[in-house]
Amino acid sequence: MDGDLYALDFDGVFCDSCGESSISAVKAAKVRWPWVFEQVDAAMEEWIVDQMYTLRPVVETGYENLLLIRLLVEIRTPSIRKSSVADGLSIKEILENWLKLKPTLMAEWQEDRESLVDLFGRVRDDWIENDFSGWIGANRFAKALLKELAGIDFPSERIYGLGTGPKVKVLQQLQQMPQHQGLTLHFVEDRLATLKNVIKEPALDKWNLYLVTWGYNTQKDREEAEGLSRIQLVDLPDFSKKLK
């Protein structure tokens, strides 16, 4: 069988959810830590959301947005500061050291991942239920957005969300499906860390890997990708041509 199979990351490649995820996280953070936001006015909230556009490349799972937002508040408001790392911390330092900062913040704030994941999901679901048009305006969720904004009723069985497991597992499932045998395999992603995880799996050596030049990655990520033989950088015009 000749042909191509494209596995496409959605958030970051097809759409930009940073505005929605940041606003959802602010809403959730206010529920989780109401005392933290007592001195946060509309101007500071706007500043926080603006900074989240810069910080978005470090986020692997949605709940991390809550941690980043509280950290930003503590950076700007010393009187409520509970973390040992916030004093003098810059946005650049957060980008470069997030993997080390995250467990420190979780420990110092006595938080657990499951509770934050649950809260973030519940707040987002409440927004969807009570203000769908407002959520659509700020968000980029796959099936709802494809139908609402592009008029595409994409088959649910071809959408793999967070509950279906890590992307390396999804790619393994896809390449093993009988209907995909003989196809040329392509995986398009905007996060370098995800592509590096794929490279570590010998079973996924048949996949052609692409890092888009937009989305949630940095110039440093793109420069590193250029030195990795398995990964091709792809800009928007070339990406569009491939899909045609």
Rounded CA-CA distance 70/25 in Å is: 10
H-assigned helices in the chain: 18-32, 42-55, 64-76, 91-108, 113-130, 132-138, 142-150, 167-176, 192-199, 219-226, 236-243
Q: What is the pTM (predicted TM-score) of this model?
A: 0.67
Of 33, 45, 20, the closest CA to residue 125 belongs to 20
Give the percent of the chain with pLDDT over 90. Answer: 56
Split at pLDDT 50, 70, 90, the class of 153 is low
CB 142, CB 161: distance < 8 Å? yes
Dihedral sign, Cα of residue 80, residue 86, residue 90, residue 95: negative
Per the CB < 8 A criterion, the answer to whether 68 and 31 are in contact is no
Euclidean distance between CA atoms 176 and 155, whole angstroms: 20
Cβ neighbour number for residue 231 with a 10 Å cutoff? 22
* Res. 20 pLDDT band, cuts 50 70 90: confident
CB within 8 Å of 201: residues ≥ 6 apart: 168, 172
Q: Which residues contact 185 (CB under 8 A, 6 or more apart)?
A: 4, 5, 7, 171, 174, 175, 206, 207, 208
- Tell me how far apart the alpha carbons of residues 135 and 124 are, in angstroms, rounded to a whole number: 9
Mean pLDDT of the 60-67 span: 91
**22-63 confidence digits (pLDDT tens):** 888 999 999 999 999 998 999 999 999 999 989 988 988 889
- For residue 63, count other CB atoms closer than 10 A to its CB: 21
